[in-house]
Amino acid sequence: MRFFACCFLIAVTGCQRERRDLRPAPPDTALLGIASRQSELEPGGPQSQPSASNPFHGNAFAISEGQRLFGWYNCSGCHANGGGGIGPPLIKQEWTYGGEPSNLFDTIVKGRPNGMPTWGGRIPEYQVWQLVSYIQSLNNQQPKAATAVRVDILQTDPHTIITRQEESK
């Protein structure tokens, strides 16, 4: 009995899923806009790349906050609920500007041609990462344990669009 209680405690405390950073770390402004690069060519030789990994990976709270912000900042105005409309869909495998978390971060912060606004300097960095977490969760790139069983706007099941695409190949 005590063994199981210990296991439970370790499982609960060792898990980042429910962690809530109510007071986010000050923004790493050096990161804005240079989280990742599109070209391998660099004048003057390669320079050290600032590391940019999603600080909220696997965090259920960040994903749900991202979902809220997705509506508040009217991302759905162009991307609908991830399926695309005026803007491209956000549930896909081929990303025009890269599908890594750092690419998504850059796309939100810098904006992209043909309509994606530049959000850098407008929304705090931690909220950008929360949006990235949510977009990743739409693409099954977040741990199952952290993703909502039932997203309010989307019916998610193991057979998402991506796994269906893979099955049809």
Partner 1 sequence: MRVVVVSVFTTTALLAQQSALDPAGANATAIRDLGAFFLGLLGLIFLMVIVLALIPLTGRHHGIEQEPLARTHRPSERTESKLGTAVGFATAITIVILIGLVIVSVSVGKSAIGTLDRTHSLVIEITGNQWWWYIRYPNDNASLIVVTANELHIPIGRPVMIRGTSNDVIHSFWVPNLQGKRDLIPSRVTTEWFQADRPGRFRGQCAEFCGLQHAHMGLWVVAEPPDQFEKWMAHQREAAVPPSDRVKQRGQEVFLGAACVLCHAIQGTSAAAQMGPDLTHFGSRSTIAAGTLPNNKGNLAGWIADPQNVKPGTHMATVPIKAEDIQPLIEYLESLQ
Chain residues binding partner 1 by CB under 8 A are 20, 22-24, 26-27, 29, 68, 72-73, 121-127
Structure tokens at 71: 């509506």
* Closer to partner 1 by Cβ: residue 122 or 144: 122
Are the CB atoms for 84 and 17 separated by under 8 Å?
no
CB of 70 vs partner 1, minimal distance in Å: 12
* Closer to partner 1 by Cβ: residue 129 or 139: 129
Please report the sign of the dihedral spanned by the C-alpha atoms of residue 122, residue 123, residue 129, residue 131.
negative
* Closer to partner 1 by Cβ: residue 24 or 87: 24
CA within 13 Å, CB half, 34: 9
CB of 105 vs partner 1, minimal distance in Å: 16
CB of 85 vs partner 1, minimal distance in Å: 21
> What 8-state DSSP symbol labels residue 63?
H
> What 8-state DSSP symbol labels residue 113?
T
CB of 7 vs partner 1, minimal distance in Å: 29
Q: What does the alpha-carbon distance between residue 62 and residue 18 come to, in Å, rounded to a whole number?
A: 9
Within its chain, how far is the Cα of 42 from the centroid? 27
* Closer to partner 1 by Cβ: residue 103 or 127: 127
